[in-house]
Amino acid sequence: MSTPAVVAIDAMGGDTGPAATVPAALSAAAENPALRLRLVGRSGDILPLLEAADDELRARIDVVPASEVIAMDDTPAEALRRKRDSSMRLALEEVKAGRAQACVSAGNTGALMAVSRFVLKTLPGIDRPAIISAIPSVAGHTYMLDLGANSNCTAEQLFQFAVMGTVVASDLRGIDRPAVGLLNIGTEAIKGNETLRHAGRLLEGSNLNYTGFVEGHDIVSGRVDVVVTDGFTGNVALKTMEGMARMLAETVRREVDRSWLNRLSGAFARRLFRGLKIRLDPRRHNGASLVGLQGIVIKSHGGADALAFQNAISTAGIEIEKGIPTHIGELLARQPDLEKAV
């Protein structure tokens, strides 16, 4: 990047806190010389982990003190009202104040969504932020949203998700006019509830590259670039795919160990297995975006290790370079009046 990108990091978030976030920050800064980081959290926990950094690296990392930590079981209301000096809240305040261009946190998802929306506000024309992430597919990746922020959605909100997903797929993957599908129980126009059918009509009247309804298997088939759904369905689908991937990996391991012949065959296929492991490793796809906000917020998995959290930081840097929030606002402004589209 030609100009420095500044990322505020909730250093206390996640299952292991600074033990993962600080080494990840050092690795990310070492990999990208244009990156500056602001680690927000308890100084006593963060500073000892920075001692090994060389002078050049250390000069690009600031520590912002925060006295409180939002626990994984804190409710969004508790996070908002009682923990105003939390590392998560202050990291988001860094973005609001312009001292950082993005925030990365592995903390409580509900709290992060609530505090982000309160501090940064949504973009004009966006009702609710959504969580989007890249899902490995036959064609490479499929972007899917919402993955858990909004259990119940209106047709208009699903339309907004499609706009946001289009921008993310276009900017992050360089896809010209990404194909968008609306997740349903069938591809026929009569399938699904009225909300889905209404959303489909809105999308048909838009200038997006809407291909129609898609089914669950299309999330990984490569048929579309963006899959739009509500947060309840999206989260269930995501967790199902994660569980299936773990089950398949364990099944292969057990089959290889069943006999000496299987182990011999497994030895010959080691390079194949290594390639599959790298491609499907969830750590390499860590970092879901909270899109629709007036600022960039990246949600890392709570159990992320240093490698996974480093990838979340890298995603923040890319979104800063591409200007994702600005592009969402621009594309939304070019859409027809929804009241006239039905």
How many structural domains is the chain composed of? 2
Residue 314 and residue 171 share a domain? no
Residues 170 and 259 in one domain: yes
- Give the pLDDT of residue 305: 85
Phi, psi for 133 (deg, rounded to 5):
-150, 160
Q: Cα(245)–Cα(64) distance, rounded to whole angstroms?
A: 38
Asked if the structure places residue 69 within a domain, the reply is yes
* DSSP string of 172-215, one letter each residue: HH--SS-EEEEE-S-SSTT-S-HHHHHHHHHHHTSSSEEEEEE-
pLDDT 10s digits, 169-209: 999 888 889 999 999 999 898 888 999 999 999 999 999 99
Identify whether residues 137 and 254 lie together within a single domain.
Answer: yes
Answer whether residue 269 is part of any domain: yes
Q: Mean pLDDT across the stretch 82-88?
A: 93
DSSP string covering 68-97, please? B---TT--HHHHHHH-TTBHHHHHHHHHHT
Q: How confident is the model at residue 281 (pLDDT cuts 50, 70, 90)?
A: low
Give yes or no for a contact between 55 and 41, defined as CB atoms under 8 angstroms apart: no
pTM summary value: 0.86
Residue 342 falls inside a structural domain: no
Q: Which two tokens stand for residue 97?
A: 């104040």
- Tell me: the pLDDT tens digits for 36-71? 999 999 999 999 999 888 888 889 999 999 999 999
Q: Are 78 and 208 in a shared domain?
A: no
Question: pLDDT exceeding 90 applies to what percent of the chain?
Answer: 59
In a domain? residue 341: no
Q: Give the pLDDT confidence score for residue 147 in this predicted structure.
A: 92
What whole-number distance in Å separates Cα of residue 312 and Cα of residue 251? Answer: 29
Q: 279 pLDDT exceeds 60?
A: no
- Coil vs helix vs strand at 150: coil
Specify whether the CB–CB gap between 226 and 165 falls below 8 A: yes
In a domain, 40, yes or no: yes
For residue 219 the two structure tokens come to 């999330």
Residue 250: is its pLDDT beyond 90? no
pLDDT of residue 23: 93
Domain of residue 21, CATH code: 3.40.718.10
Collapse the DSSP code of 290 into the 3-class scheme (helix H, G, I; strand E, B; otherwise coil) and give the result. Answer: strand
Pick the more confident residue, 2 or 264.
Answer: 264
pLDDT of 52 reads 82
As a whole number, mean pLDDT of residues 213-227 equals 93
- Mutual angle of helices 270-280 and 260-268, in 10-degree steps: 70
Look up residue 320 and give its amino acid.
I
Domain identity same for 303 and 276? no
Cα 55 from Cα 53, distance rounded (Å) = 7
Cis peptide before 218 (omega within 30 of 0): no
Helix (H, G, I), strand (E, B) or coil at 327: helix
Residue pointed to by tokens 């990108």: 5
Residues 140 and 278 in one domain: yes
Give the model's confidence band at 282: pLDDT under 50 very low, under 70 low, under 90 confident, else very high: low
Domain that holds residue 71: 1-126+292-325
Note whether 240 and 305 are same-domain residues: no
274 within domain boundaries: yes
Do 270 and 297 sit in the same domain of this protein?
no
What long-range pairs does 242-245 form, CB within 8 A, spacing at least 24? 242/282, 245/280, 245/282
Encoding tokens for residue 87?
């590392």
Using pLDDT thresholds of 50, 70 and 90, give the confidence band for residue 1. very low
| pLDDT digit string, tens, across residues 117-175 | 999 999 999 999 999 998 888 878 899 998 988 889 999 999 999 999 999 999 988 88
Q: What is the mean pLDDT of the chain?
A: 88
Position 337 in a domain:
no
